[in-house]
Structure 1
Amino acid sequence: MVECDVGLRVRIVQQSHKATIQRSDDRRAGVGWVASAGAAQRSALAAQQPARPRRSGGTDQGATPRASGAGIVTSADGTTITHTTTGSGPGLLVVPGPMEQAAELQDLANALAAKSTVHVLDRRGSGGGGPPAPGHGLGVEVEDAQAVLAATGAERVLGLSSGAVIALQTALRTPGITHVIAYEPPITVARRKAAVVARFEKELKAGQNVEALITLVKGLEFGPRALRFVPTRFLAAVLRKGEDEERDLLDRLPTVLQDIRIAEEGAKDLRRFQALEARVLLVGGTRSPDYLTEGLHALADLLPHAGKVLVADADHFTPSEHPDQVLPAFQGFLG
């Protein structure tokens, strides 16, 4: 069913969730994709690539426990970037997806905190991140991530959605990164959903933010199939009831366009990722739209030694909404 969270945040509320990764058919999973997260498979994931040396001064050495808190760093262009810190163990930087704030990923951070010191970045335009500047793109996002990595000594990166594109590019450009997890990088969205993106941008420019949100949710298939047949006029009337209470969410909508451009930029010449020295895990959900798993397969074809997992009953928002479902895959890879 669809839940309208205080009027505007539309999401899938799944009726059952499984904390294990189950077998999916070969056509869906593809050759080489792991379909189970038992002990043997977790060991296989960790052993798929040779170990990388650790940087001196990082949190991986010593694994000193840290209390939950917030940090502030300055990016290369002078912009202030904030992040939260939770847990103890090897440092892990989490790069959120579109419109996500660090505070909204606290459940994921808590789930990972038993074995990692988790630093969740507040990206520009969300939370405590500074505003996007003219010419903002993938390079600037990488610089922001690098600033947090340098300040914390973290050597592992987990990216969600467009944050996965940033995570991969950061690992490519930053010496000493040992592990990178990419959860559903939307590298095909600009090409496969060009008409949806164009309509979304048009509605934003016209100040029709509620309609733009509906276009995004329906057009990018973020919700049950039945939602696509509900008239936009009806959904808009329902969502406007909570418009004032969710002004912050509406204000963050334009950053989605920014993320789509970043994903499009990141999709150029994917062969460059073959130079990655870090261990790589590509993760997706069996309930996600085909255009998202298509991007995973494209990367998997180029990175045959990467770990590959499809999580049963998971979708694009599962890491933030139900982190227990993806935790076995993430922890199995990180060790």
Structure 2
Amino acid sequence: MKTAELTQGTVTSRDGTEIGYYKTGQGPAVVVLHGSMESARSHRLLAEALADEFTVYLPDRRGRGLSGPHRPDHSVRTEIEDLEAVLIAAGADRAFGVSAGGAVVLEAARTLPALRQIALYEPAIVADGAPHRAWLARFDQEIARGDLAAGMVTSMFGFEMAPPFLKIMPRSLLRWMTEKMMAKEERQAPAGAITMRQLAPTIHAEGVIVAELAGTFDSFRAVDADVLLLGGTKGLPGLKPGRATLERVLPHCRRIEFDGFDHGSSSDPGGVNPSGSADAVRRVAAEVRAFFKQ
């Protein structure tokens, strides 16, 4: 699969913040909203797979790449306003969202009647937001003192992303390993790449989003859009119960679970997604393409 050729553009969100995006392809517009520890460039392979039939917009969510910074009062509403600005500029009524980006797209579909079809990969909707509010306090302290590696370890456990074998390792060792991993990535990253060290502070906003939308499943009964709900059998265990609940409450929903896929299987391999593969992206893209062509 060749790398998508991208052009750049910007829109202005309701609070005046610039939201930048990349664009590729031809045909009806689709906006792809990336997840945590990702940027617009994390879905270049997915964009390439859709580009012969759709014009794909890849916005950088706040705090990353082409877009402006988070503000102290950042919330789900802020994210929806950012997405809405891109949807209007693109003339899009279709969107694909991943993880926290998927949660934003789903909430946007509840509040923005313009969205007609949405596809979601492991949307970060959970039953209880209290655990996320608890770890955020420690994360903020670690980031404030410049200990990004410690903050990433805290968020890994907070988001329940740690595999079982890591749970028995001392935090000091995990912090050391994380620091080494970030340093290696920076040495090998091509010019202009958005690295884990740059992305680490954005995790605060992801935790805010997950906590804010936690337990809101019943509100999604009001979603009129057609929904394609995707996930993997090896995805985040904490998100799988939420998909089962969403499948029950969403009025127009089709669910697919990919055997052997994990939380990053819709995203480009590399960086924080070392287990990703181009083949997995192609399989996800094939389902998304068929859905959006309906």
TM-score category by the smaller chain? Answer: 0.7 to 0.9
- 2:176 maps to 237
Q: 1:182, 1:96 → 2: CA distance? A: 11
- 1:37 maps to none
Is residue 227 of structure 1 aligned with residue 166 of structure 2? yes
Post-superposition offset of 1:301: 2.0
Post-superposition offset of 1:300: 1.6
Letter in 1 for 2:108: T
Is residue 257 of structure 1 aligned with residue 204 of structure 2? yes
Does structure 2 retain, via aligned residues, the 8 Å contact 1:168–1:180? yes
Distance change (3 Å), C-alpha of 1:236 and 1:272: closer
- 1:104 maps to 42
Q: Map 1:284-299 onto structure 2 (within 5 A).
A: 284-299=231-246
Post-superposition offset of 1:241: 3.6
2:265 to 318, 326, 329: 318
Q: 2:20, 2:228 → 1: CA distance? A: 26
TM-score, normalization by structure 2: 0.82
Q: 1:99, 1:243 → 2: CA distance? A: 12
Q: 1:231, 1:160 → 2: CA distance? A: 31
- 1:272 maps to 219
Does structure 1 retain, via aligned residues, the 8 Å contact 2:133–2:207? no
Q: Relative to structure 2, which stretch is displaced further, 317-326 or 162-171?
A: 317-326
Q: 1:163, 1:193 → 2: CA distance? A: 17
Cα distance per residue 1:106-135 (max 9 Å; x no partner): 122112223211101111101111111221
Cα distance per residue 1:170-206 (max 9 Å; x no partner): 2222233210112112222734556554543443344
Post-superposition offset of 1:67: 6.8
Post-superposition offset of 1:82: 0.6
Unaligned runs of at least 5 residues, structure 2: 187-193, 270-276
Instruction: Report SS of the residue matched to 1:98.
Output: coil
Instruction: Report SS of the residue matched to 1:119.
Output: strand
Does structure 2 retain, via aligned residues, the 8 Å contact 1:92–1:154? yes
Letter in 2 for 1:145: L
1:158 to 83, 96, 115: 96
Post-superposition offset of 1:219: 4.9
Distance change (3 Å), C-alpha of 1:216 and 1:228: same
Is residue 331 of structure 1 aligned with residue 289 of structure 2? yes
Post-superposition offset of 1:324: 2.1
Distance change (3 Å), C-alpha of 1:240 and 1:266: closer
Does structure 2 retain, via aligned residues, the 8 Å contact 1:99–1:126? no
Is residue 281 of structure 1 aligned with residue 219 of structure 2? no
Does structure 2 retain, via aligned residues, the 8 Å contact 1:190–1:197? no
Higher alpha-carbon Rg: 1
- 2:191 maps to none
Q: 1:136, 1:222 → 2: CA distance? A: 24
Does structure 1 retain, via aligned residues, the 8 Å contact 2:62–2:70? yes
Does structure 1 retain, via aligned residues, the 8 Å contact 2:153–2:178? no
- 1:216 maps to 155
Post-superposition offset of 1:150: 0.8
Does structure 2 retain, via aligned residues, the 8 Å contact 1:319–1:326? yes
Q: 1:156, 1:81 → 2: CA distance? A: 18
- 1:25 maps to none
Instruction: Report SS of the residue matched to 1:168.
Output: helix
Instruction: Report SS of the residue matched to 1:253.
Output: helix
2:105 to 167, 172, 176: 167
Instruction: Report SS of the residue matched to 2:37.
Output: coil
Alignment coverage as a number of residue pairs: 270
Letter in 1 for 2:142: E
Letter in 2 for 1:134: P
Greater length-normalized contact order (CA 8 Å, ≥ 6 residues apart): 1
- 2:142 maps to 203
- 2:29 maps to 91
Post-superposition offset of 1:223: 5.3
Instruction: Report SS of the residue matched to 1:318.
Output: coil
Cα distance per residue 1:47-85 (max 9 Å; x no partner): xxxxxxxxxxxxxxxxxxx97311111111111111111
Aligned-residue RMSD, C-alpha: 2.5
Instruction: Report SS of the residue matched to 2:129.
Output: helix
